[in-house]
Amino acid sequence: YCVVMASAITHSGAEHLINKLSKEGFTNASKHMDNGMLRVVLTGYHSKEAARAALAIVRATDNLYSGSWIKHF
């Protein structure tokens, strides 16, 4: 499972967001190509419950992340 932070983002926008997330402590942010769409995701959650807990933390960090969601790859 992962937490999707942004979808349909440019490569430069993705790099900017990954750097921002890293500064905020989310060091597991990366780019992921999914069906031709570039996404910025937080990876490494082995269960939906773990991803849900991470999502709650993400959403509490910044209103910018209120649209984040969980995806299973």
Q: Convert the pLDDT of each residue in 18-67 to its tens digit.
A: 999 999 999 999 999 998 999 999 999 999 999 999 999 999 999 999 99
User: 44 and 50 in contact (C-beta within 8 Å)?
Assistant: no
Q: Answer yes or no: pTM beyond 0.95.
A: no
Tokens, residue 19: 């750097």
Q: Convert the pLDDT of each residue in 5-20 to its tens digit.
A: 999 999 999 999 999 9
